[in-house]
A and B are shown apart, each in its own frame.
Chain A
Amino acid sequence: MLSSKIAENSKRILWVIFPFSVVLLIWQAIVWLKIFPSYLFPSPASVLEDFIVKAIYTQTLLVHIRESLIRLSLGYATGIGGGLALGVGMGLNKFISRFFEPIVVFTHAIPGITWVPLAILWFGIGYETVTFIIFLSVFFPVLYGTLTGVRTMSVKFSNVAMMCRAKKWQIIIYVLLPGAMPSIMNGMRNGAAFGWRGLVAAEMIAASSGIGWMIVDARSWLNTETVILGAIVIGISWIIIEKLILKTLEAKTIEKWGMISTS
């Protein structure tokens, strides 16, 4: 039983390592064959070297990652909070819903990146602008998720709560939000993905630190290995965020409650 589990796990890991090894090999082969000049197409070894320098000696990579993560957390926190609040408000109150619906539909139709120039004019280059863009990217999916969840929730649950003479805020906290969780979770998932893209894009235009900025800055100095390093860091960071935060949150809520089918 245990040994078969180990075998299964190592097989899974092998099927991650193997495809990437092939990609790495092709990459190295192209370098060996000297198809492209090395300043445009650096070797895996030079990217690794750049990583070691930036992660251990100068530690600039860590600074950029930290900067990006702070902006991300701020944007996520405000976006999720705002989306939940307006989503519940619109889901429960006809006036709020009618008032905001057209505005929300219109604003949602504007891609987050469109706001960057205006945000730069308002907030300048730096934290506020990037966080604002992340906020917008997270806010709408969470809002729609919450709204859908609240609107589609069965009245039977609120009937039970009403029998217990629950107050409005108790119904929201104890019934509406957990009941709408599958749909909210879906919104948070989309929001997180959009926010991540928004972060990198906004940093490329409107920041002087962070992973996105690091890539753009490296390009202007023709440090191609740093550009590639940045892309790899972005990819790995997202996988960690996804597995560590979103998956855990899902496992502790809707999976545990049997509200989604686990595969």
Chain B
Amino acid sequence: MANDPILSLFSVSKLFHPSKILAIEDINLNVERSEFVCILGPNGCGKTTLLNLIAGFKPYFPPTEGRVSMNGEPITGPGSDRVMVFQEQTLFPWLSVRDNIEFGLKIRGTPKAERQRVSEHYLKLMELEEFKDKYPFQLSGGMNQKTELARALALKPEILLLDEPFAQVDAMTRLSLQEELLRVSEIERRTTIFVTHSIQEAIFLGDRVCVMTKRPGKIKEEVRVDFPKPRKWATVSNERKFAGLHNHLVSLIQEGELGNAIK
């Protein structure tokens, strides 16, 4: 391969103790640099387990079987080269929007002037400037998630891990957040793994969609999405290919459902 994958999972399984739940089984996944990969699957299919495992969080990490390596090196735990944005709100309530964005840099001992330069940049990029002195409880759900994204990006991770980051905002805000994410992602060109249970979201955002089956989660099929970027909902949703992809993914997921029902 000309381009070595930035992240590769080889035959990864995770069995939880003491519940003996096999969350994911035999996952093989290679992610290219700057690629935007969506992991699509129903609730409880182990997609969050997969993401947390890549992030290196206990008890998801280490895997029961298989290898996870980044740039050819096995990962050993959490690190700032992989930064996760969570579904629930994880902004520090005691820090302003600006201080939340600067948090990781402060931990690293980055000088104040540099910290401010970085936070100004991301406040501007995410259009959060007028909220910089607000505290998280004063933000709307959408603003909150934008700040979470800004905080993650400010760490300049090699891989951005997004765990259904827009699941808890209303549908209309979600559309604009998705467009915004793609816009920023085009500028930053950061490798992104995005977990979702929304088929439309996966098609709209991903360069590639990996469909997972119900527990134990396996990757059933990978589908390439080649809409030109930047994408906008107004144009993408009108494409004939969009409907085709949508139908294909629905049938993939429903097959799994039926299979499980018969079992």
A258 touches B78 (CB 8 A): no
A170 to B108, CA, bound (A): 10
A165 to B79, CA, bound (A): 6
The number of chain A residues touching the other chain, given as a range, is 20 to 34
The digit string for B122-144, where 1 denotes a CB below 8 A from any CB of A, is 00000000000001111000000
A260 to B93, CA, bound (A): 11
Q: Hey, which chain B residues are within 8 Å of A165, CB to CB?
A: 78-80, 107-108
Q: Which B69-102 residues sit within 8 Å CB-CB of chain A?
A: 78-80, 82-84, 86, 88, 90, 92-94
Q: Which A56-96 residues sit within 8 Å CB-CB of chain B?
A: none
Q: Is B227 an interface residue (CB 8 A)?
A: no
Interface residues of chain B: helix, strand, loop or mixed (majority): mixed
Q: Total contacts A to B, CB within 8 angstroms? A: 61
Q: Hey, which chain A residues are within 8 Å of B36, CB to CB?
A: none
Q: Is A166 an interface residue (CB 8 A)?
A: yes
Q: Hey, which chain A residues are within 8 Å of B57, CB to CB?
A: 159, 162
A41 to B57, CA, bound (A): 70
Q: Hey, which chain A residues are within 8 Å of B88, CB to CB?
A: 156
Among residues of B, the one whose C-beta sits closest to the C-beta of A256 is B135
A162 touches B136 (CB 8 A): no
Among residues of B, the one whose C-beta sits closest to the C-beta of A182 is B93
A170 to B155, CA, bound (A): 17
Q: Hey, which chain A residues are within 8 Å of B137, CB to CB?
A: 257-259
Q: Is A229 an interface residue (CB 8 A)?
A: no
Stretch among A171-179, A203-211, A218-226 lining the B interface: A171-179
Question: Could you show 24 A-B contacts with beta carbons less than 8 Å apart?
Answer: A156-B86, A157-B90, A159-B57, A159-B84, A159-B90, A160-B90, A160-B92, A161-B107, A162-B57, A163-B55, A163-B82, A163-B83, A164-B107, A170-B107, A174-B103, A174-B107, A178-B94, A179-B92, A179-B94, A257-B93, A257-B94, A258-B136, A258-B137, A259-B94
